[in-house]
Structure 1
Amino acid sequence: MSRTGVLVLGPAGAGKSTFCNGIISHMQQIGRRAHLVNLDPAADPQQYEFTIDIKDLISLQDVMEEMELGPNGGLLYCFEFLLNNLDWLDEEIGDYNDEYLIFDCPGQIELYTHFPVLPTIVKHLQQSLNFNLCACYLLESQFIIDSSKFFSGTLSAMSAMILLELPHINILSKVDLIKSEYSKKQLKKFLNPDPLMLAKKEDEFNPKFSKLTNAIANLVDDFGMVQFLPLDCSKEGNNIETILSYIDDVTQWSEAQEPKEPKDEIEFNEDD
């Protein structure tokens, strides 16, 4: 049986850990099992403990102290060490077959937009451990307040999509924090963005960069790949279930499940 894994990506502060814990909480409520795999050598568990923790192999704090490296250099060292010890990851994953593994990734997006670190791990999980994978890229909803920031976030999401070559779900997180400022209609134009329309708001951009802005808008429009699902973590608007249904679809989770035993045949009366 193939395994199912979800890589949760996005810049620091986008709400990745909250999202991971939200998925596991929802799965427990509906009787499904999932496990957290921490790939951030500087992270500590929040609501749920890590089933697999990279810090059991290597810690960013130890690397910074012993190697006299900064946070970014230390993080790259940690992942290079992991790539040289993928057998440790194989042993930790073990026999998790029909359960979800949620991979909580670091907030340094260069690991999956510039460096071939996560792509190498992705290929190993697919080819050696028979994983069906998808990526969930979180972008904080505050990015839509400034169109230039939104373009930047959209480009980083598109870069991750191209580099990882995985089924990809983009999520606009913390939507509950901007409900008072944006109506559903206003928010909708960012969930399925028209880059050319957004770029026409010349008053929001420095005129010196108008050509660059239009060039970026045309690039995003040409690819036509980036759409977002809203993530509302408030009690009134919690939509983890909807996002999980998308993840199930792209990972083909239901198709990988063992067929259930048929119910007992209905007994018919002799007169029937």
Structure 2
Amino acid sequence: MRYAQIVLGPAGSGKSTYCSTLVRHAADSRRTINVVNLDPAAEYFDYQPMADIRELIHLDDAMQDEDMKFGPNGGLVFCMEYLLENVDWLEEQLGDVDDDYILFDCPGQIELYTHMTVMRQLAEILTQRLNFRLCAVFLIDSQFMVDGPKFLSGTMSALSVMVNLELPHVNIITKMDLLTKAARNQIDSYLEPDPHVLLGELSDSSSKWNKKYSRLSEALGKLIEDYSLVRFCPLNIRDEENIAD
């Protein structure tokens, strides 16, 4: 049985940094973790991938084709669909070694995870055809979670990904080491999703949007509380104990 994480999240959320951090941490513990780059637009990452989608297709291939004429978003979708059509290439790159632990470093286009089917199809191939025990890891930048409305938005994004992929799921708030102490304390108050804390901030705002949609915000907060669907783990890559946890 092989094990893997499919590492997801918006652009700039720290997916590649997360992968390289786990690779180094595993090496320090005399263990091996391999990474597969599934981002056809990647320019740089601090690890040596065991497989790289750019060897199969690059985003520029889709964007510069005179017949297709894709933009960046359409090109990314095309590249991921092309991967599904050529899954034999991925299977060959991965080999058939047992007891592998692999991180799949995915693109940063959030639509791929929230409401399109391409990533769910990939997950099904990895679990059913390639015999992986798969876990989805959704990353979100801590700097976009430091107040009530943003935290509520991030939580709903995580929930959309969880529902769409139907996989065991872990949500991680990244870049905690870049926050001020006050911002870290603010996020800490949200980690046990209490809609009263979040809604208190929303109701204190004089925004016309918050006043008009207060009942919607309250319903979303109650949904999170009643079903305990979303939890976040804060990650500080400068803290070895935090990484080990």
CA distance in 2, matches of 1:153, 1:109: 12
Q: Which residue does 2:33 correspond to in 1? A: 34
Q: Which residue does 1:171 correspond to in 2? A: 172
CA distance in 2, matches of 1:42, 1:8: 16
Larger Rg computed on CA atoms: 1
Question: 1:68-217 residue pairs with structure 2 within 5 A?
Answer: 68-182=69-183, 184=185, 186-201=186-201, 202-204=203-205, 206-217=210-221
TM-score normalized by structure 2? Answer: 0.92
Amino acid at match of 1:91: E
Q: Which residue does 1:240 correspond to in 2? A: 243
CA distance in 2, matches of 1:112, 1:85: 20
Deviates most, 57-66 or 186-195: 186-195
State the Cα deviation string for residues 207-239 of structure 1 (Å, max 9, x = none): 1221221122123223311111110122x5662
Residues 137 and 170 of structure 2 are in contact (CA less than 8 Å); yes or no, is this contact kept in structure 1? Answer: yes
Q: Which residue does 1:18 correspond to in 2? A: 17
- Match of 1:239, SS state, is helix
CA RMSD of aligned residues (A): 1.6
1:172: how far off?
0.9
Residues 15 and 173 of structure 1 are in contact (CA less than 8 Å); yes or no, is this contact kept in structure 2? Answer: yes
Q: Which residue does 1:249 correspond to in 2? A: none
Question: 1:243-254 residue pairs with structure 2 within 5 A?
Answer: none
CA distance in 1, matches of 2:146, 2:130: 42
CA distance in 2, matches of 1:43, 1:238: 29
1:180: how far off?
2.4
Amino acid at match of 1:195: P
CA distance in 1, matches of 2:2, 2:45: 25
- Match of 2:204, SS state, is helix
CA distance in 2, matches of 1:195, 1:52: 43
Structure 1 unaligned regions, length at least 5: 243-272
Amino acid at match of 2:9: G
Structure 1 residues 84 and 216: alpha-carbon distance in aligned structure 2, compared to 1, 3 A threshold = same
Residues 38 and 50 of structure 1 are in contact (CA less than 8 Å); yes or no, is this contact kept in structure 2? Answer: yes
TM-score normalized by structure 1? Answer: 0.83
Residues 35 and 100 of structure 1 are in contact (CA less than 8 Å); yes or no, is this contact kept in structure 2? Answer: yes
State the Cα deviation string for residues 99-151 of structure 1 (Å, max 9, x = none): 21100011111111110111111111111111001011111111232321211
Aligned length: 239
Deviates most, 128-137 or 214-223: 214-223
